[in-house]
Structure 1
Amino acid sequence: MAYEIMFASFTFFSIMRYLITRFTIPDAVQHKWRWYNVWISWIHALCAGLGCIYCVSIEPTLLNNLQDYDIRFAYNLIEMSTGYFWYDAIDVGVLSGSSLKESLILLCHHFVVILCFTVVVVTGDHVPIAIVCLLVEINSIFLHARQIFRMAKIYDGPFYTVNKIFNIITFFMFRFVSLSWMLRRVILDRSELSIGYFILLVTSFPLMIVINFGLFLQVLAKDVPAFTVLQKLQGSKNQNRKEKDACETLNGHMNGTHQTKPVMKAEVVSKLE
């Protein structure tokens, strides 16, 4: 039954993409493929995010258990999401028209998720781990909504502002706190996991956190004015420092005091750092 649900999910999102292309898109949208892709991602995030909330609400103890979880709905939810990630990997890798270099980070993310979820689907074990991972989709509801707003050139207004606030809050809660907490649980309770799955998790979780950190900085830079001002001040400070160093080097050449030895020492220090 597992593979049937995965195939049905893949087919469902493919049909949804076709239906979305039948609608007229806003004139402000410059990239049609990205518009369609983000809408499909938002639909998946809504289904998976609400599904995770339901699973946690009816069985809160799943957060304290890495192994056993006998609610069929949770298992089916993981199957559905696996089908979606297969769909999106093909959409990004084949239909987007982007080069492999441009889509490499997203494809690596999808590969890791598909691998982790497939182990759960095939073995039927570790369902709680996958559900905690899917809690990320609660944030994706707001993250993808933000992308839709920005592609339509909507950068302010009450809806954008409210979505922006919820996006930042849920980003921190479900992309940093929940993943870090689960990584800690995996390390502490590693005896409950096979050695292969343990290695897969302790390598994939940090990778996800690093990717999310980079994405979080991008969100803050565009949506939080104070963070943007701080970045500009830091950039200006670094630029002034570079200009000062260049002036000192130039003066050293002009005065005949520029020496090779200190420069070589600085290069060695930079390599060590």
Structure 2
Amino acid sequence: MGKEMEEGRKRNTVELFFFSTLILWFVSVSFQILLRNRTELLYIIAGSFFYQISNSLIRFFSTDPLFVNTSVSLIHSIVTSTSVIFILSRQWLSNGLSGMFDHSQLVEGTWPWAFEALCFSCGYFAYDQWDMLHYRLYNGWIPSILVHHLVLLICFTLALYRNVTINYLILTLICELHSIFLHVRKVRRMAGIRNPRSIVVKLEWFLNWITFFVARCASHILITAKLIRDAHKFGKGVELPLALFGMAGMNFLNIGLGMDLFKAFKRERYPKKVYHHE
């Protein structure tokens, strides 16, 4: 009984911390919009409302909080990856690749619709943080998913406030193309489709691995290399240290994600062998 009470207190402390930071974030965004007339940041609020409405609509078909949350995450990945591909394709067709990845463009410039897309994605992370806290869809006393969302909210919001490195952050969101198949796999398993010999499952795993290496690993490594190469072009502000720290974290998380994916692949592909080994 005493152990359960202690665990309950720890959980309440974790929730209080992340709820508090989310409220502070909301107050900060509201201050910028209402008192500093930053009406362009309303896209953040629009993003939060859009994904909350999506949540409510999905609940007509299922009331399982994990299924609903995963389904909304899938919608976010589709919307975000589509937006990023649209923005990059439009920029490529309009101006070519020559100046597209120039340092000044990536740090000081903002491609058409890039600001709005980043705001919309920022709104999703705020919504998802709230949903995970409300339904306790996290594990551990230092939940990595909540920490991840908090870091992204801070980095994205600061960039939007100062209107810098917007294009760099858009490039990092290419990884959402891979997230589509992560969420598809989770929804598929919750729906009971688990036959490893199924064409659907095989195709899903093929696309999962392709997008993992191309859209997530390769893109993040190239962005990190670009930052290091252009390090001398940054000013004396915090942009470069924050960018390098953020990309180092993303690359580290990609390694862990790759290991988890490989374990999941072995479990699904060779269930009897894995069970025997365990």
TM bucket (normalised to shorter chain) is 0.7 to 0.9
Q: 1:206 aligns with which of 216, 224, 248?
A: 248
**Post-superposition shift, 1:186?**
1.3
Partner of 1:14: 52
| Change beyond 3 A, Cα 1:98–1:54 | closer
1:82-134 Cα deviation digits (max 9, x unpaired):
11111111212x21225662661111211222222112211222122111111
Tell me, yes or no, if structure 1 residue 165 matches structure 2 residue 206: yes
Partner of 2:61: 23
Indicate the SS of the match to 1:23. coil
CA contact (8 A) 2:181 2:208 kept: yes
Indicate the SS of the match to 1:111. helix
CA contact (8 A) 2:66 2:137 kept: no
**Post-superposition shift, 1:225?**
7.1
**Post-superposition shift, 1:201?**
1.6
Partner of 1:89: 129
| Structure 1: unaligned runs, 5 residues or longer | 26-31, 240-273
TM score, norm. by length of structure 2: 0.74
Partner Cα distance (1:6, 1:211) in 2: 26
TM score, norm. by length of structure 1: 0.75
Partner Cα distance (2:62, 2:165) in 1: 43
Partner of 2:120: 80
| Change beyond 3 A, Cα 1:75–1:98 | closer
CA contact (8 A) 2:234 2:240 kept: no
Aligned residues: 228
| Change beyond 3 A, Cα 1:194–1:180 | farther
Q: Which amino acid aligns with 1:129?
A: Y
CA contact (8 A) 2:74 2:184 kept: yes
CA contact (8 A) 1:42 1:141 kept: yes
| Within-5 A mapping of 1:1-273 | 1-24=39-62, 32-60=64-92, 61=97, 62-65=100-103, 66-92=106-132, 94-98=133-137, 101=140, 104-156=143-195, 157-190=198-231, 191-192=233-234, 194-224=236-266
Segment of structure 1 superposing worse, 186-195 or 104-113: 186-195
| Change beyond 3 A, Cα 1:2–1:194 | farther
Q: Which amino acid aligns with 2:183?
A: H
Partner Cα distance (2:141, 2:217) in 1: 25
| Change beyond 3 A, Cα 1:103–1:11 | farther
Once superposed, what is the RMSD of the aligned Cα atoms?
Answer: 2.7
